């Protein structure tokens, strides 16, 4: 028996300005995610999440969380975005996904991390396209975290050989 350590790494930018200075294209995508929070329907949590995906053909697809009184019927912004992208462009890889949020209750100053279910969908999105998808996370303000693929966010991923 032995203990083993697994390391996940990400690039951390102080804020969107530093991010834009280094990664202008992805900073534009993050801005699209911020815009997407304005379409969020979150009357229960008051937590408005926005996401934006940039596809390999240059198309940007935006999405946001949509809640429902029957709670499990709602869906996260990340899955709304990725499913919409793959429904419209099933054969086009997703290059990058930006995620952000704002709250009516508190200032969101830490990067918003996707939930486990969304991470699993990101795994299969990458699997379909055959290449890693960059994942960019920010709160309403504050630092920007950049992950160069889902495996850094979701080690020990569940994969099937049937795809
Ligand atoms: Zn989620």
Distance 115 CA to ligand 1 centre (A): 4
| Residue showing tokens 């530093």 | 18
In degrees and rounded to multiples of 5, residue 83 shows phi and psi of -70, -40
Q: What is the DSSP letter of 151?
A: G
Q: Within 49-146, where are the H helices?
A: 77-88, 116-129
Distance 62 CA to ligand 1 centre (A): 15
Model's pTM, two decimal places?
0.95
Annotation marks residue 104 as catalytic: no
Of 16, 23, 32, 78, the active-site residue reads: 78
| Residue-wise pLDDT tens digits, 54-110 | 999 999 999 999 999 999 999 999 999 999 999 999 999 999 999 999 999 999 999
| Residue-wise pLDDT tens digits, 2-47 | 998 888 899 999 999 999 999 999 999 999 999 999 999 999 999 9
Distance 22 CA to ligand 1 centre (A): 28
Query: How do strand 94-103 and strand 134-138 relate by DSSP bridges?
Result: parallel
Sorted by where each begins, the domain ranges of the chain are 11-58+75-93+104-152
Distance 75 CA to ligand 1 centre (A): 7
Q: What is the DSSP letter of 99?
A: E
């Amino acid at each position: 028996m032995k203990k083993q350590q697994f390391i996940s790494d990400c690039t951390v930018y102080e804020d969107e300005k530093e991010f834009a200075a280094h990664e202008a294209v992805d900073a534009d995508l993050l801005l699209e995610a911020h815009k997407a929070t304005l379409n969020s329907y979150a009357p229960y949590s008051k937590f408005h999440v926005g996401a934006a995906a940039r596809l390999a053909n240059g198309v940007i697809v935006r999405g946001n969380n949509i809640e429902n009184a029957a709670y499990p019927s709602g869906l996260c912004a990340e899955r709304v975005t990725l499913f919409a992208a793959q429904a419209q462009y099933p054969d086009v890889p997703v290059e990058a996904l930006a995620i952000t949020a704002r709250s009516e209750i508190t200032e969101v100053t830490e990067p918003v991390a996707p939930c486990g279910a969304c991470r699993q969908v990101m795994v299969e999105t990458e699997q379909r396209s055959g290449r890693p998808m960059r994942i960019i996370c920010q709160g309403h303000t504050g630092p920007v975290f950049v992950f160069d693929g889902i495996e850094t966010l979701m080690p020990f991923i569940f994969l099937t050989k049937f795809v």
